[in-house]
Homo-oligomer: A and B are copies of this chain.
């Protein structure tokens, strides 16, 4: 899985603490000494997915497009990684004995079904957690994280 997912999730949390103020990719990257231009790439993907809004020019940057309770971990993962399954059935049964070209083995192959079952469980668990949940847990263990981060980003 792409490392950008981790960056994107942390950036969403940090943006949530900025209360709607725009933050540039460079500042978000400086927080964790990340390559700014590459983080920018990930934030663009989030913007394209409707999770962030971006504004160019001076005083520009990124900000959350929705309340944190309406952004699931699955939303962020899908935005960065794309919607395809990790296990993508190549339908090798088509080349096997009794294989047919007019059958979609992604639906019928027992191996594919079993793997897909696990992936759905993974997705379900990701969809059940929001950025809001993450923030709540962080603030419980580290109550001054929001103000400290805000100080670094302004």
Contacts and interface: CB of A to CB of B under 8 A. Distances in A.
A117 B73 CA distance: 11
Contacts of A70: none
A118 B113 contact: no
Using C-beta atoms within 8 Å of the partner chain, give the interface range for chain A: 35 or more
Copies of this chain per assembly: 2
6 contacts: A1-B87, A86-B86, A97-B152, A117-B129, A121-B121, A121-B125
Contact of A149 (B97, B121, B138, B149): B97
Interface string A129-145: 10001110110011001
Interface in A78-113: 86-90, 92-93, 95-98, 108, 110-111, 113
Given A32-B93, A97-B148, A114 B129 contact: yes
A3 interface: yes
Given A87-B6, A117-B129, A119-B122, A32 B92 contact: yes
Contact of A122 (B7, B33, B122): B122
Interface of A: 1, 3, 5-7, 9-10, 13, 31-34, 73, 86-90, 92-93, 95-98, 108, 110-111, 113-115, 117-119, 121-126, 129, 133-135, 137-138, 141-142, 145, 148-149, 151-152
